[in-house]
């Protein structure tokens, strides 16, 4: 069965690359959600959008509605203020100061102009700075613009101001061995998988054993992605988000991870068991793990008062919130688990 679905596995990877190429730090989702809406409507699906930006499509099927969700907002930062020498001070959104230095970035202004730059340590030349090994903090990191500027006034003439978005270059690549490396696999890997699921269902009419809706959320990285959008008729929610890979966990990048518990507590016992049984029945490569420092859109929905069962699966992703890595096999296993859970 899974070999016959190779076209959908390939489509998922293609969509992951496409989605990652579209900047969408939390708070600026417009381009990526427009792309999602266009792609879903091309499949002939009914699509609706939320005021705060989320995109929902009904895949069809009858009864016992399930909502699958993945988020398309990513980590990012903001211009805090313009320094006297034309460098940009950083107000962190969700980035990590320990792995962001020397990354190329794009500055998005309020009138949607885009400028390039690099995040550097202030006074970054090792042959000049005696404190080059100081602890990295956002107070001593800055954006060096790739423009001929040397003063605050020079930068202001470009239209750059406090509150503009700092968007990090993701550096997407696929190795010959099948590894996918990029920033923002959390959670655009899962979003590509959801698009592949939508494509499969749109091309296999009547395959669903229940009603399935898919929800591409925004604002997940700041905690309220699915706080709205999950309607009263929904019985179950399944987040497809990154599976954790790391010390004391069993998952690898080649597997689909089924989360038993995260930093917000246990997932629904029976729903988790259903996913494990589905993985076993279809001979998928999977792992069950606990994610100690993690939260998902399911928690946002539950805290908002939704009376639903909840679970989470995802392709194993290493180095989360950094330069992340997964594998085509992890994407395949996650797609197949999501698919066979609903057909």
Instruction: Give residue-wise pLDDT tens across range 189-207.
Output: 999 999 999 999 999 999 9
**Mean per-residue pLDDT for 224-246?**
98
Q: What is the pLDDT of residue 36?
A: 98
Q: What is the pLDDT of residue 163?
A: 98
Q: Which of 224, 194, 219 is nearest to 338 (CA)?
A: 194
Residue 1 confidence (pLDDT) above 80 = no
pLDDT (tens digit per residue) in 19-38: 999 999 999 999 999 999 99
Q: What is the pLDDT of residue 315?
A: 98
Q: What is the pLDDT of residue 221?
A: 97
Q: What is the pLDDT of residue 2?
A: 60
Mean residue pLDDT of the chain comes to 97
Q: pTM, whole model, 2 decimals?
A: 0.97
In the chain, % of residues over pLDDT 70? 99
Give the pairing of strands 212-217 and 265-266.
Answer: unpaired
**What gap in Å lies between CA 22 and CA 327, rounded to an integer?**
21
**What gap in Å lies between CA 6 and CA 217, rounded to an integer?**
27
Which residues are catalytic, by number?
Answer: 220
**Mean per-residue pLDDT for 99-104?**
98
**What gap in Å lies between CA 325 and CA 123, rounded to an integer?**
31
**What gap in Å lies between CA 324 and CA 44, rounded to an integer?**
33
Domains of the chain, earliest start first = 3-74+183-342 (3.40.630.10), 77-168 (2.40.30.40)
What's the pLDDT band for 250 if we cut at 50, 70, 90?
very high
């Amino acid at each position: 069965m899974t070999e016959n679905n190779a076209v959908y596995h390939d489509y998922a990877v293609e969509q992951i690359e496409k989605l990652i190429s579209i900047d969408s730090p939390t708070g600026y989702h417009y381009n990526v959600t427009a792309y999602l809406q266009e792609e879903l409507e091309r499949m002939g699906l009914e699509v609706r959008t939320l005021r705060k930006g989320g995109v929902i499509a009904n895949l069809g099927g009858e009864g016992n509605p399930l909502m699958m969700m993945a988020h398309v907002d990513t980590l990012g930062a903001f211009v805090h203020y313009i320094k006297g020498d034309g460098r940009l001070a950083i107000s962190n959104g969700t980035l990590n100061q320990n792995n962001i230095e020397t990354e190329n970035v794009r500055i998005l202004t309020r009138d949607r102009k885009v400028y390039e730059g690099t995040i550097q340590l202030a006074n970054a030349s090792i042959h000049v700075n005696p404190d080059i090994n100081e602890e990295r903090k956002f107070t001593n990191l800055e954006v060096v613009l790739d423009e001929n500027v040397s003063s605050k006034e020079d930068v202001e003439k470009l239209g750059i101001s406090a509150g503009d978005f700092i968007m990090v270059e993701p550096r997407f690549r696929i190795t010959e061995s099948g590894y996918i490396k990029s920033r923002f696999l959390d959670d655009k890997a899962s979003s590509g998988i959801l698009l592949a699921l939508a494509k499969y269902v749109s091309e296999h009419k009547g395959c669903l054993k229940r009603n399935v809706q898919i929800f591409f959320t925004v604002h997940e990285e700041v905690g309220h992605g699915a706080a709205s959008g999950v309607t009263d008729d929904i019985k179950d929610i399944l987040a497809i988000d990154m599976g954790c890979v790391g010390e004391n966990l069993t998952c690898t990048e080649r597997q689909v991870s089924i989360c038993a518990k995260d930093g917000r507590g246990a997932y629904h016992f029976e729903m988790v068991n259903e996913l494990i049984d589905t993985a076993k029945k279809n001979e998928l490569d999977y792992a069950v793990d606990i994610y100690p420092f993690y939260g998902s859109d399911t928690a946002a929905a539950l805290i908002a008062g939704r009376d639903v069962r909840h679970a989470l699966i995802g392709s194993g992703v290493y180095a989360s919130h950094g330069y992340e890595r997964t594998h085509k096999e992890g994407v395949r296993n996650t797609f197949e688990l999501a698919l066979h859970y609903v057909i």
